[in-house]
Amino acid sequence: MYSRITGTGSYLPEKILTNLDLERIVDTSDEWIRTRTGITQRHIAAEDQVASDLALYACQNAMLAAGVTGKDIDLIIVATTTPDMIFPSTACILQNKLGIENCPAFDVQAVCSGFVYALATADMFVSSGKYRNALVVGTEIYSKILDWSDRNTCVLFGDGAGAVVLSRSDRPGILSTHLHASGSYSNILSAPGCISGGKVQGTPYISMEGNAVFKFAVKVLEEVVHEAVAENNLQSTDIDWLIPHQANIRIIQSTAKKLGLPMKKVVVAVDKHGNTSAASIPLALDIAVRDGRIQPDQLILMEGVGGGFTWGAVLLRW
């Protein structure tokens, strides 16, 4: 028994913040942002939107595409770094908004690798035969944890959500999943604040050593993509589509180069979305499915890296 993605969906908030808009907020330039990151714009959630709101639209689209309703869903996993609240989990809040009763629902916290972690977890439950149709969601509102006076970080991120329905199948589907973490690198990318005694202790905003993150990301992504391909006795040139975490076009180009893949085989959305953390892979996937790039039987490699540090990959046959 296997698990297969049977439907994809995504949602981007209406408001668009361009690099030119950012020039009016911090000491930066469109040219600096574009040449260092490839980003030209990002979407920003409305004041009253929370991560489960974005996830709701993405899930509704994914369920429609898969031809399933809430009654068919028996597992919900949400990857998010920006949950609606401390508890209940965003997955439980989303379950209620979807009108789904009594299925397991939980959050996964692996920052920008969150969707890869959530998909790998759902694969274990679905391919084992335990559940039939899982909703796997990445949803983020990073605009709420950015210091809008810090040009080092505020230009990089955006808001959005992506979702898939992962269904039991007698043909693959997901071929293999590869998860890694190293807590010893937690200091180079974090939002270290916490709530204690009714107050925020420490900074609640993202802090990042950009160069160290860049170097770490390039190194571990190269390792994990080769691990995924080798475990399946495939060549990297067999890959039809690379769907990378959308952090920075230079990191994406570097991974594609190490795999020997031309950029025309890479799904890129970072230019329009910025880094949407756990939402970035399912957002990019949904775009490439809906515009017809991804076709049946093609080989897809998803990879992500994020705070923790965490990193991983999922290789699948569409």
Does residue 213 bind ligand ACO (CB under 6 A)? yes
Q: How far is the CB of 26 from ligand ACO (least distance, A)?
A: 7
Catalytic residue annotation: 112, 245, 275
The CA distance from 200 to 214, in Å, is 29
Q: How far is the CB of 41 from ligand ACO (least distance, A)?
A: 14
Does residue 38 bind ligand ACO (CB under 6 A)? no
Say which amino acid occupies 139.
Answer: T
- Distance of CA 243 to CAs 34, 151, 247, Å? 20, 27, 12
Residue 15 CB: number of other CB atoms within 10 A? 14
Does residue 32 bind ligand ACO (CB under 6 A)? yes
- Which of these ranges, 9-17, 69-77, 137-145, 210-218, lies near ligand ACO under the rule CB under 6 A? 210-218
Report whether 62 contacts 135 (CB < 8 A): yes
Does residue 247 bind ligand ACO (CB under 6 A)? yes
Does residue 210 bind ligand ACO (CB under 6 A)? yes
Looking at the Cβ atoms of 104 and 210, the one nearer to ligand ACO is 210
Residues paired with residue 175 on neighbouring β-strands, in sequence order: none
- Distance of CA 26 to CAs 23, 30, 44, 149, Å? 6, 11, 17, 6
- Which of these ranges, 11-19, 54-62, 135-143, 212-220, lies near ligand ACO under the rule CB under 6 A? 212-220
Spatial CB neighbours of 99, under 8 Å, sequence gap ≥ 6: 70
Report whether 180 contacts 224 (CB < 8 A): yes
| Cβ-proximal residue to ligand ACO, closest one | 210
* Residue closest to 305 by CA, chosen among 194, 215, 172: 215
The CA distance from 188 to 308, in Å, is 9
Does residue 24 bind ligand ACO (CB under 6 A)? no
Does residue 211 bind ligand ACO (CB under 6 A)? yes
Q: Is the peptide bond before 88 cis (omega within 30 degrees of 0)?
A: yes
| Contact pick of 39, 50, 56, 155 for ligand ACO (by CB under 6 A) | 155
Q: How far is the CB of 251 from ligand ACO (least distance, A)?
A: 6
In the chain, count of helices (H) and strands (E)? 10, 15
Does residue 219 bind ligand ACO (CB under 6 A)? no
Does residue 253 bind ligand ACO (CB under 6 A)? no
Does residue 278 bind ligand ACO (CB under 6 A)? no
Does residue 115 bind ligand ACO (CB under 6 A)? no
| Contact pick of 189, 279, 294, 315 for ligand ACO (by CB under 6 A) | 189
Does residue 275 bind ligand ACO (CB under 6 A)? yes
The CA distance from 99 to 146, in Å, is 32
| Contact pick of 177, 248, 254, 310 for ligand ACO (by CB under 6 A) | 248
Total interface residues for ligand ACO by CB under 6 A: 22
Residues paired with residue 184 on neighbouring β-strands, in sequence order: none
HSE, side-chain direction, 13 A CA sphere, residue 11: 23
- Provide the binding-site residues for ligand ACO, judged by CB under 6 A: 28, 32-33, 36-37, 112, 151-152, 155-156, 189, 208, 210-211, 213-214, 217, 247-248, 275, 305-306
